[in-house]
Amino acid sequence: MLTGANVMAAGTLAVGLLMWASGSFVFFTDVDRYPWYGKLGILSAAFLVQLSAQRRPALALGAMGLLLAFDAYAGPSLPLWIALSDVMYIGVVRGSDRLRRVVIVLGVVATVAGAVAGAIAGGARAGVLTGLIGVALLLSPIGYGLSVVATRRAGDAEKSAAVAQAQAERAAALADERRRLSRELHDTVAGHVSAIAILSEAARDAAEPGPVVESIRGNSLAALGELRAMIDLLATDGDEITTVRWSSVDPLIDAADAVGSTVSVNGDVTGMPRRLEAVVTRIVGEALANATKHAPGRPVTVELSSGARAVRVIVRNDRAAEAPSTRGQGLANMQIRAESIGGHLDAGPVGQEWIVTAELPR
């Protein structure tokens, strides 16, 4: 497979052959100790070292050092230093951090040493020219390589950050989905099951348990129906299907009536959007379940008032003396459902009553 490294190695070989043919193979033409087969051999060896540098940059640098030691006597030859430039670039880009530091130190030392040696041997002009050659052949490829490494690391950091952000978003989405499912299960099952438990106790002591048993059956069927609807919803691709209807509160009203509570409902959900109807139904259902559980036999009033922009829901019941004052999961779920459509909900004792008030935008 033809790669950039292979092309560079082949290009260096071609440049070396051209320099050989033009008589500029070595830096100093008056000192050329290379026989023709020596030049061919050094070019071939440099070509092979360049090809191996991508996979074994440290070994390639060592091999290039041996070639330079031989070349220092016979040349020095310009094509070999061009090949060295490519191998040093590869060492910076492909090598380890340790090898990268070694290459940088060697490049700086060789450039400075060459400039000093040139100045000693041929004066300031020779020193400057030798230093510039070192910058061009050694320091420039090191600088290019460091730029490539920095760009690659920045890209890796961005990818890592993107992956971490995606994982965090996925974890947050999963946590939100678990909380949503928890609310759905609570609101779907807990109210009806609580009503069944209360009704079962009432049926045990009732002189005529028929109506109570019928209410137990109604709540059982309602719970099963809502569970089935929830399962169907989870089996769909989307999350936009609303299966909760106002009729879902009828079994809870029957359960409250069966234990002696009188439930009065003023208003209805006619004309409400489906999503708003679902939120109203869940809030009223939870409030009825709580009233039946904590204050059985006490009257409950449900008031629905619908305006052009908002709907107000008020559920009030007389408190039992032993009614708990703590706020449980059901109250938190009601608040979350109200807030999910931009509304708000307050629940708590007011005198001898427990009042749930929700303001919901249409």
Residue 302 — very low, low, confident or very high, per pLDDT cuts 50/70/90?
Answer: very high
Name residue, tokens 């904590």: 294
Q: Are 128 and 115 in contact (CB under 8 A)?
A: yes
The mean pLDDT of 272-301, rounded to a whole number, is: 87
Measured distance CA(76)–CA(71) in Å, rounded: 5
For the chain, how many helices (H) and strands (E)?
12, 5
C-alpha 345 chain-centroid distance: 33
* Alpha carbons within 13 A on the beta-carbon side of 325: 5
Quick check: 45 pLDDT over 80? Answer: yes
Q: pLDDT at residue 1 above 50? A: no
Which of the pair, 25 or 270, is modelled with greater confidence?
A: 270
Q: What is the mean pLDDT of residues 196-209?
A: 72
pLDDT of res. 304: 93
Residues 153-161, mean pLDDT to the nearest whole number: 89
Per-residue pLDDT tens digits for 22-42: 777 776 656 666 777 877 888
Of residues 278, 269, 306, 291, the one with CA closest to residue 347: 291
The neighbour count for residue 322, using CB atoms within 10 Å, is 7
pLDDT at 234 over 80: no
Q: Average per-residue pLDDT in the chain?
A: 81
Residue ranges of domains in the chain: 4-163, 164-361
Q: What pLDDT does 55 receive?
A: 86
Average pLDDT for residues 44-56, to the nearest whole number? Answer: 85
Buried b (16+ CB within 10 A) or exposed e, 49-71: bbbbbbeebbebbebbeebbeeb
Two structure tokens written together for 23: 């008589």
User: Could you say which of 3.90.650.10, 3.40.50.300, 3.30.565.10, 3.40.50.800 is the CATH number of the domain covering 164-361?
Assistant: 3.30.565.10
